[in-house]
Amino acid sequence: MKQQKQDSNIFRYFKTNSIAALLLGAAIFFYSCENDIEKIKAFSSPENLPILEALNFETLFTDSGQVRFYLKTPKLLRFENGGLEYLEFPEGMELVKYDANKNIVSSLTADYAKQFIKEEKWEAKNNVVATNEKGDTLKTEHLIWEEKTEKIYTDEFVRLIRPDQTYTGVGFTSDQALENWRIKNLKGKMFLTVDNERERPDNLKRTNTPVEEKINKPLNRPLQFNK
């Protein structure tokens, strides 16, 4: 009888602890599910979704009838969240600026970018390359362009390549034409010998965007919009 009573106590011990473990596991499960549901709700919230999506997008920006910019991107997303309006280019973009005579003044390419509409500000990240009409090329991983003040700047490492020399450093400010520039922490200066385009590396050669043709005739392919 004593052995049977002891066995019964052991059974009740494991049964009680098994129930407790089961309840604990269920609580953890539902808590995890609740967290996942909250994450899903946050992700799928209308505030986090674009109101407009465009694929293989390209367009011309005009001012007083004059073409000022040419924009091309594989994917464009437009967001409006709490008064903040911006365009996102998750797969990169190319932006070309023109003067009144349709000559290229500067260009900007990046693997990722945002345009803050009300603030009139651009932010470019990852493999950022900016050029001007003189052939100067700025390379960095992060760049801010203020349209109102016509200034560009970054706190990241930069490489400024000019026809006769190359500068490197950390931190950079300039006008948008890359003419009046300053490197905050200059690391070095390297002199080059370049004979126009013949000795310039292929990845630094300027390629003309066929924007003149696009100004006088519609785009060759329709734009695709997905809401």
What is the pLDDT averaged over residues 48-59?
90
Structure tokens at 204: 């630094």
Res 89 pLDDT > 60? yes
Sign of CA dihedral 114, 118, 119, 120: positive
pLDDT digits (tens, 9 = 90+) for 102-139: 888 899 999 999 999 999 999 999 999 999 988 899 99
Q: Which amino acid is at 3?
A: Q
Rounded to an integer, what distance in angstroms lies between the CA atom of residue 121 and that of residue 113?
11
Res 90 pLDDT > 70? yes
Res 99 pLDDT > 50? yes
Taking the model in full, what pTM does it have? Answer: 0.64
Res 26 pLDDT > 70? no
Sign of CA dihedral 105, 111, 115, 120: negative
Structure tokens at 14: 């494991």
**Is-contact 173 153, C-beta < 8 A?**
yes
- Tell me the pLDDT band of 70, cut-offs 50, 70 and 90: very high
pLDDT of residue 192: 53
